[in-house]
Amino acid sequence: MEATVAPLGRKAGPESDILVLLRDFTEGDRINQMRTDFIANASHEMRTPLASLRGFIETLQSTAKEDEAARERFLPIMAEQAARMTRLIDALLSLSRLEMNAHVPPSDLVDLNDVLGHARDTLEPIAADSHMTLEVERFAKPAIVRGDRDELLQVLQNLVQNALKYGRPNGSVRIEAKHIPSLSQHARGRFAISVIDDGPGISAEHLPRLTERFYRVDVDSSREKGGTGLGLAIVKHILNRHRGELAIASKPKQGSTFTVMLNESQPAGDRASLSTASK
Ligand code: ADP
């Protein structure tokens, strides 16, 4: 609610009439504001690598035209700036696709053990390149959820890539998989997948804002590590569509734990029908 107070009439004084305008910020206003902020942020993020590319192109066209050493130095930086633009555009497209499908819950049956296996295969080489270790636990039994396999894989990739980016140099990242049974036979249990790093951690004031689009604890460190500021926003959108949740626990110097919670596809009492459905 916004209040504007102004004196009415010529003489402003204790006895003059006062006009009070009350303006209610509706949900619509808030969404419009968020949209405007998002467009401003996205444009700013795209302008930065573009400005850098233009600068290098101008230098190469003029002073450094005949300078072989300068060309060799600039070209990899230019390639990285172009790659950054591509990552940003890919992330923006993912977000817009997720927003379009936000109200359509996924209908396939997915075994989270398959997703964990695939995540391990794609992420182990990346961990090895960064001289870090990745340990992936699986559920003791098939862990079936209603979901989109690619989107769930994307969730794990984003969380593990963050753990590798912001974790301790030469540190370790662990994925733990736990089944949380329901207390009643006819209610659904849950599956918890935690991505745990032994990095510098995040202080409490940042935690509630981490899934906001373009929110970063340290903008320079994120950019330097190739971040777009959209990874956790994408995770949140995917989990919303899956009626899942993300819990973040972190303390400075003690590492971070990002836990994904997903509902089991069927109540324990109805499992018999699942094996037929998943074939
Ligand atoms: P980015 O592309 O910047 O990594 P994300 O949305 O994935 O964007 O993450 C938002 C911010 O959260 C990051 O910039 C970083 O500051 C912080 N963050 C995410 N994961 C971790 C982690 N495992 N350890 C420390 N900080 C993290």
- 19: β partners: 6
Alpha-carbon 187 to chain mean position: 30
Instruction: Return the residue whose CA atom lies nearest to atom 14 of ligand 1.
Output: 216
C-alpha pair distances (Å), 268 with each of 94, 178, 187, 271, 279: 34, 16, 7, 6, 18
| DSSP three-state, residue 52 | helix
SS3 29: helix
Paired residues of 17 in beta bridges: 8
Q: Using one digit for the tens of pLDDT, what is the confidence trace for 116-159? A: 999 999 999 999 999 999 999 999 999 999 999 999 999 999 99
Our answer on whether the CB atom of 228 is closer than 6 Å to any ligand 1 atom is: yes
Residue 4 CA to ligand 1 centre (angstroms): 39
What confidence tens digit (pLDDT) does each residue in 245-270 have?
999 999 898 999 999 999 999 755 55
Is 240 in contact with 102 (CB distance < 8 Å)?
A: yes
How far is residue 204's CA from residue 127's CA, in Å, rounded to a whole number? 27
pLDDT in tens, 22-59: 767 787 888 888 888 889 999 999 999 999 999 999 99
- Angle between helix 149-166 and 112-129 (nearest 10): 30
Give me the pLDDT at residue 273, please: 44
Question: Could you report the predicted ipTM of this complex, rounded to two decimals?
Answer: 0.99
- Residue 26 Cα to ligand 1 midpoint, Å, equals 31
| Average of per-residue pLDDT across 163-178 | 96
Distance from C-alpha of 14 to C-alpha of 266, rounded to nearest angstrom: 69
Q: How far apart are CA 205 and CA 265, in angstroms?
A: 35
**Between β-strands 172-180 and 133-136, what pairing exists: parallel, antiparallel or unpaired?**
parallel
Q: Is the CB of 234 under 6 A from ligand 1?
A: no
Residue 177 pairs with which residues in a beta bridge? 193
Q: Which residue lies with its CA nearest to atom 2 of ligand 1?
A: 227
23 CA from centroid of ligand 1 (Å): 37
What is the Cα–Cα distance from 43 to 110, expressed in whole angstroms?
A: 37
Predicted confidence at residue 19, as pLDDT, reads 80
Q: What is the distance in A from the centroid of ligand 1 to the CA of 163?
A: 8
**Encoding tokens for residue 253?**
């110097």
Contact (Cβ atoms closer than 8 angstroms) between residue 116 and residue 177: yes
Q: Which two tokens stand for residue 120?
A: 């391990």
SS3 content of the chain, % helix, strand, coil (to 5): 50, 20, 30
Ligand 1 within 6 A of 49 CB?
A: no
| CA 162–ligand 1 middle distance (angstroms) | 6
Model pTM? 0.84
Q: How far is the CA of 108 from the centre of ligand 1 (A)?
A: 30
Q: 255 in ligand 1 pocket by Cβ < 6 Å?
A: no
Alpha-helical runs (H) found in 101-228: 112-129, 149-166, 219-224
Is the CB of 56 inside a 6 Å radius of any atom of ligand 1?
no
Is 210's C-beta closer than 6 angstroms to any atom of ligand 1?
A: yes
- Which tokens sit at 224? 């330097």
